[in-house]
């Protein structure tokens, strides 16, 4: 009973118990059935073994007897005693087998058969066989046969039959046993099947029990829980008699449901109470909100007032401040529109008023209100009827109230006035104090702005002055902080944000910013530090190089004193790159010239000395003299180069330009140059175009001599030098191409500069003054052309000379002119009569038609109706207009400005003449014929000549 109770209290235990009983049943059934099977099988095998054993023995006995009979008969037949002995030897075996059989014989039949076999053996071996053998040996064969016939043979046969019968019975018995085993086996199988069925039934029962005990109550719980969750009521019907966990759960669940229901009641009650409280709170809140609203509006007013003050104190932009004043004032004093006007310059800002309104007000400023404000310096209000546009859609009369407020500066002057208007409700007189307080505040800030504006204007003026200075300047206060810089300084040091990027920087920052851009950082820092501390002597300078562009700058510093107290330092940075470069180039030039001149000089002097002081063989003498000659030539050409450059620099180089063919000149230069070298081949590519230019042939020759000798010099290992001519864009281009050292990229910009030589150890052995290319450029430019080059460092260079090509008349000038029937008209303005006649004569000789005037006025009058092809102009004229004025007048006139002007004067002001637009400038006296040539060349250049000078069959006609 107690155990039963123990099991019932736990579901787990119940399940374990059920499972246990089931397992026990299953095991017991299985064991019993297995044992039974085992038993049936073993008893069958035992029986079978016995029967088989018996069978084997009987068969052996039968076999042995047969052998005995066989041998005995053989003995009798052949009288072979061997056979007799064999028969005798089988006897003990047979006896042994028989006695073995008797031992295992169980049934009465077996025992009877055993006795029978014993008896037969006795009969045969004891009774008959000895007797037969005795008879046989005695030779009494008949007796033997008689004995046999007397039943011995019959007995043997019957024994053999019996034996066979017995064996057959044994077989039958074996079969019976097998049959009975099969039947038993099938019984046992049926038993197994039934057992399984029973077990399944029991299992099913168990599941049913578990479902009833657990599943059903759980479903009930679920339904009940759901019902409660939905808010309904639910009862549980879990068996009262149960004692397990479900019973406990059910009790707890019921209790919980009860508690929940009680709580719900409580909450409902509380809720009602809270609702009542909330109503009360709502009322309180509304009350508070009302108070808060008032506070907020006050606060907003204060904020606006703050904003007004912030707005006018935060900005120094006058217009911005004025607008902020009007907007904020309107809000603060609750005006509908407002206006502020500066009396001094009429600057104004408004709120709610149209531009027209503002203008009208400004126009009437001088009327009474202003005077009153100026006199009383106190604000006042005015009531008036609103204008139609102010009233808007209101029909009845509405009054507006204007508040006039003066703004008074620190020196008690009215500097500005403010007017604010309320539509429909008046300004309260008691608020006037507040209004005037505000206006005072505004006055103060306007004062501040005006003083700021003054100082700003001063500062700007100072800055502008500073910016005009070419040097970079910075002013550092005594704490090391930068107070002011000028534009140049910002540019020199790449201040990214302009002044803002550097002004106001402390010593630590700006000194680093600047020194980073200087090559000698430490030297720079040391100098500015010494200068800042006043340790530099006056006039001491520091020269530094900038990192990025390699500019060279010179810096000096001056202390700034106020009342004998040092208040700061001014640093001045002067860009001396140009001077520095010129200096550098000059000294390099001096050194080069010195070297270049001394080398040939050393040869000339040395060899002369040897010639004078030594006895030399004639060949040697000749060799030395040749050397002296060559070196002297080299000296001459060097000196000529220097002189050329000098001439060109001073603008004194003259060019005698004629129509010249380029090819023959180039061929000549090539011939001269080819002689100088064995390793180079100078190749002129064929060209059959027009090679005519207007130029000075000796100068042009110099251009190509320089270029080709450069090509040879700068390709020391030899190779071809190509010359190529081609026409493009009416320019004649001549290329000189070598495959030598090439020009390094960094040298490209300076290559045409005077004295410039590519600094490179490879090139130092290549002589030269650094003047060749600069001379080339100068000459080509004088021919209205240009030189360019392309080069790849290490692979060679190509220099290209581009000069305008021209076409020469095929039949000569005269014929053309006669053929076309036109002659160029040249206006000659010259007051010296005899000179004029000379000029006219020269022009006429050259088939130009001269028209002469003594004064500019007459000439200008003529020009109103005529368009000559060129004008020859004297500068110093007797009456009124001089040559310069005439030129200016002509150049201003659209039609006349295109007429070429050739100046013919005693004044040496060529540059002025050319800059004013003259095409050529002749200083009297000049060679006869040169004026006409210049005019023709000019006409050729401006394209006038094309109509008559170009032959009929040439292209471009």
Partner 1 sequence: MKKILIAEDEEILRMLISDTLEDGDFSVDEAEDGEEALQLMEKKQYDLVILDYMMPVLTGLDVIRKVRSGMNQNKDVKILMLSAKSQQNEQEEVLNAGADYFMVKPFSPLQLLEKVGEIADEV
Q: Interface with partner 1 by CB under 8 A: which residues?
A: 591, 594-595, 598-599, 601-607, 609-610, 613-614, 627, 631, 761-765
Closest to partner 1 by CB, 367 vs 591, is 591
DSSP, collapsed to helix, strand or coil, labels residue 876 as coil
DSSP, collapsed to helix, strand or coil, labels residue 569 as strand
Rg of the chain's alpha carbons, rounded to an integer? 73
3-state secondary structure 793-813: CCCEEEEEEEEECCCCCCCCH
150 contact partners, CB below 8 Å, separation of at least 6 = none
Of 178, 440, 157, nearest to 325 (Cα)? 440
Instruction: Please report how close the Cβ of residue 714 comes to partner 1 at its closest, in angstroms.
Output: 13
CA distance 158 to 168: 15
DSSP, collapsed to helix, strand or coil, labels residue 48 as helix
Residue holding tokens 């010249």?
660
Q: What angle, rounded to 10 degrees, do the helices at 883-892 and 856-863 form?
A: 20
Give the H or E element holding residue 418.
Answer: strand 414-423
Instruction: Please report how close the Cβ of residue 604 comes to partner 1 at its closest, in angstroms.
Output: 8
CA distance 577 to 762: 28
Closest to partner 1 by CB, 533 vs 637, is 637
Closest to partner 1 by CB, 284 vs 613, is 613
Q: What angle, rounded to 10 degrees, do the helices at 521-532 and 507-515 form?
A: 140
Tokens representing 596 are 């270049």
Closest to partner 1 by CB, 631 vs 701, is 631
Instruction: Please report how close the Cβ of residue 640 comes to partner 1 at its closest, in angstroms.
Output: 20
Instruction: Please report how close the Cβ of residue 623 comes to partner 1 at its closest, in angstroms.
Output: 9
Closest to partner 1 by CB, 68 vs 593, is 593
Distances (CA, A) of 809 to 480, 638, 935, 946, 953: 77, 39, 16, 10, 11
Give the H or E element holding residue 427.
Answer: none
Closest to partner 1 by CB, 259 vs 594, is 594
Strand duo 472-477 + 719-728: pairing: unpaired
Instruction: Please report how close the Cβ of residue 927 comes to partner 1 at its closest, in angstroms.
Output: 43
CA distance 884 to 352: 63
Instruction: Please report how close the Cβ of residue 712 comes to partner 1 at its closest, in angstroms.
Output: 16
Q: In what order do the strands lie in the sheet with 680-684?
A: 680-684, 719-728, 731-738, 796-804, 786-792
Closest to partner 1 by CB, 496 vs 761, is 761
Instruction: Please report how close the Cβ of residue 583 comes to partner 1 at its closest, in angstroms.
Output: 16
Instruction: Please report how close the Cβ of residue 802 comes to partner 1 at its closest, in angstroms.
Output: 34
Backbone angles phi, psi at 905, to 5 degrees: -150, 165
Closest to partner 1 by CB, 233 vs 617, is 617
Is the separation of the CB atoms in 700 and 662 below 8 Å? yes
CA distance 689 to 558: 68
DSSP, collapsed to helix, strand or coil, labels residue 543 as strand
Closest to partner 1 by CB, 761 vs 834, is 761
Strand duo 731-738 + 796-804: pairing: antiparallel
Backbone angles phi, psi at 615, to 5 degrees: -80, 115
Instruction: Please report how close the Cβ of residue 610 comes to partner 1 at its closest, in angstroms.
Output: 5
Closest to partner 1 by CB, 154 vs 601, is 601
What is the DSSP code (8-state) at residue 854? S
Instruction: Please report how close the Cβ of residue 586 comes to partner 1 at its closest, in angstroms.
Output: 15
CA distance 196 to 174: 34
Backbone angles phi, psi at 409, to 5 degrees: -80, 175
CA distance 666 to 722: 12
Closest to partner 1 by CB, 230 vs 765, is 765
Closest to partner 1 by CB, 248 vs 616, is 616
Instruction: Please report how close the Cβ of residue 692 comes to partner 1 at its closest, in angstroms.
Output: 42
CA distance 848 to 350: 77
Instruction: Please report how close the Cβ of residue 905 comes to partner 1 at its closest, in angstroms.
Output: 48
452 contact partners, CB below 8 Å, separation of at least 6 = 316
Instruction: Please report how close the Cβ of residue 716 comes to partner 1 at its closest, in angstroms.
Output: 10
Instruction: Please report how close the Cβ of residue 594 comes to partner 1 at its closest, in angstroms.
Output: 6
Instruction: Please report how close the Cβ of residue 638 comes to partner 1 at its closest, in angstroms.
Output: 13
Closest to partner 1 by CB, 263 vs 595, is 595
Closest to partner 1 by CB, 328 vs 603, is 603
Closest to partner 1 by CB, 258 vs 614, is 614
Tokens representing 708 are 């080709």
CA distance 837 to 852: 9
CA distance 60 to 493: 138
User: In whole angstroms, what separates CA 324 from the centre of its chain?
Assistant: 46
Instruction: Please report how close the Cβ of residue 713 comes to partner 1 at its closest, in angstroms.
Output: 13
Closest to partner 1 by CB, 599 vs 677, is 599
CA distance 700 to 149: 175
């Amino acid at each position: 009973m107690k155990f039963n109770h123990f099991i019932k209290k736990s579901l787990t235990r119940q399940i374990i118990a059920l499972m246990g009983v089931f397992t026990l049943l299953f095991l017991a059934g299985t064991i019993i059935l297995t044992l039974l099977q085992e038993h049936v099988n073993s008893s069958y095998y035992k029986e079978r073994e016995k029967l088989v054993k018996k069978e084997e023995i009987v068969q052996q006995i039968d076999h042995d007897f047969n052998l005995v009979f066989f041998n005995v008969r053989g003995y009798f037949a052949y009288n072979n005693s061997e056979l007799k002995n064999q028969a005798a030897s089988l006897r003990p075996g047979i006896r042994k087998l028989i006695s073995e059989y008797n031992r295992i014989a169980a049934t009465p039949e077996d025992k009877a058969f055993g006795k029978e076999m014993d008896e037969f053996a006795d009969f045969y071996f004891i009774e008959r066989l000895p007797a037969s053998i005795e008879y046989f040996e005695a030779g009494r064969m008949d007796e033997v046969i008689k004995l046999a016939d007397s039943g011995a043979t019959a007995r043997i046969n019957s024994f053999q039959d019996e034996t066979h019968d017995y064996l057959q019975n044994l077989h039958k018995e074996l079969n019976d046993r097998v049959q009975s085993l099969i039947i038993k086996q099938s019984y046992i199988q049926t038993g197994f099947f039934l057992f399984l069925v029973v077990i399944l039934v029991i299992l099913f029962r168990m599941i049913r029990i578990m479902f009833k005990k657990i599943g059903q109550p759980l479903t009930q719980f679920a339904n009940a829980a759901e019902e409660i969750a939905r808010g309904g009521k639910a009862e549980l019907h879990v068996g009262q008699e149960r004692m397990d966990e479900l019973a406990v759960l059910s009790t707890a669940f019921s209790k919980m449901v009860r508690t929940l229901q009680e709580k719900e009641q409580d909450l409902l009650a509380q809720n009602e109470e809270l609702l009542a409280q909330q109503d009360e709170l709502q009322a309180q809140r509304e009350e508070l909100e009302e108070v808060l609203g008032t506070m907020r509006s006050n606060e907003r007013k204060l904020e606006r007032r703050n904003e007004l003050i912030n707005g006018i104190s935060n900005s120094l932009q006058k217009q911005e401040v004025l607008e902020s004043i009007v907007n904020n004032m309107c809000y603060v004093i609750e005006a509908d529109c407002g206006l502020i006007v500066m009396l001094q310059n009429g600057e104004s800002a408004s709120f709610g008023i149209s531009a027209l309104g503002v203008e009208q007000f400004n126009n009437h400023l001088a009327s009474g209100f202003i005077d009153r404000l100026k006199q009383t310096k106190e604000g006042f209000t005015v009531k008036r009827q609103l204008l139609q546009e102010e009233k808007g859609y209101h029909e009845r009369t509405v009054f507006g109230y204007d508040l006039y407020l003066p703004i008074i500066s620190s020196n008690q002057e009215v500097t500005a006035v403010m007017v604010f208007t309320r539509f429909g409700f008046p300004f309260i007189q008691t608020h006037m104090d507040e209004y005037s307080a505000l206006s005072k505040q505004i006055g103060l800030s306007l004062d501040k702005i005006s003083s700021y504006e003054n100082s700003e204007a001063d500062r700007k003026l100072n800055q502008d002055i500073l910016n005009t200075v070419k040097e970079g300047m910075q002013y550092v206060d005594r704490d090391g902080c930068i107070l002011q810089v000028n534009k140049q300084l910002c540019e020199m040091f790449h201040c990214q944000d302009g002044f803002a990027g550097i002004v106001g920087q402390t010593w630590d920052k700006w000194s680093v910013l600047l020194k980073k851009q200087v090559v000698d950082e430490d030297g720079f820092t040391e100098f500015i530090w010494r200068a800042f501390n006043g340790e530099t002597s006056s006039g001491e300078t520091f020269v530094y190089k900038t990192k990025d562009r390699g500019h060279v700058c010179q810096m000096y510093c001056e202390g700034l004193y106020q009342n004998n107290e040092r208040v700061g330092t001014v640093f001045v940075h002067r860009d001396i790159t140009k001077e520095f470069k010129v200096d550098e180039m000059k000294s390099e030039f001096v050194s080069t010239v010195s070297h270049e001149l001394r080398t040939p000089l050393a040869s000339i002097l040395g060899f002369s000395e040897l010639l004078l002081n030594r006895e030399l063989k004639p060949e040697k003498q000749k060799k030395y003299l040749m050397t002296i000659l060559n070196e002297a030539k080299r000296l001459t050409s060097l000196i000529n180069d220097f002189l050329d450059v000098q001439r060109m620099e001073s603008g004194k180089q003259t060019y005698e330009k004629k129509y010249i063919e380029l090819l023959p000149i180039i061929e000549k230069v090539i011939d001269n140059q080819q002689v100088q070298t064995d390793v180079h081949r100078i190749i002129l590519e064929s060209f059959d175009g027009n090679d005519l230019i207007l130029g000075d042939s000796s100068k042009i020759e110099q251009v190509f001599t320089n270029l080709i000798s450069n090509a040879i010099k700068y390709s020391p290992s030899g190779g071809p030098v190509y010359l190529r001519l081609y026409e493009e864009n009416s320019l004649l281009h001549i290329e000189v191409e070598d495959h030598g050292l090439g020009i390094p990229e960094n040298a490209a910009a300076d290559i045409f500069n005077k004295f410039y030589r590519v600094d490179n150890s490879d090139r130092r052995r290549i002589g030269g003054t650094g003047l060749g290319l600069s001379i080339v450029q100068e000459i080509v430019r004088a021919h209205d052309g240009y030189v360019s080059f392309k080069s790849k460092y290490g692979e060679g260079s190509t220099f290209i000379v581009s000069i305008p090509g021209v076409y020469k008349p095929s039949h000569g000038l005269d014929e053309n002119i006669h053929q076309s029937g036109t002659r160029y008209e040249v206006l000659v303005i010259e007051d010296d009569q005899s000179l004029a006649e000379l000029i006219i004569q020269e022009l006429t000789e050259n088939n130009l038609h001269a028209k002469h005037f003594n004064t500019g006025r007459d000439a200008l009058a003529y020009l109103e109706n005529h368009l000559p092809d060129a004008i020859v102009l004297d500068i110093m004229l007797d009456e009124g207009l001089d040559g310069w004025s005439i030129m200016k007048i002509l150049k201003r006139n659209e039609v006349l400005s295109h007429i070429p002007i050739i100046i013919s004067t005693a004044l040496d002001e060529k540059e002025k003449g050319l800059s004013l637009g003259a095409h050529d400038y002749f200083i009297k006296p000049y060679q006869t014929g040169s004026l006409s040539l210049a005019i023709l060349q000019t006409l050729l250049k401006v394209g006038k000549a094309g109509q008559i000078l170009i032959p009929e069959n040439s292209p471009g006609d």
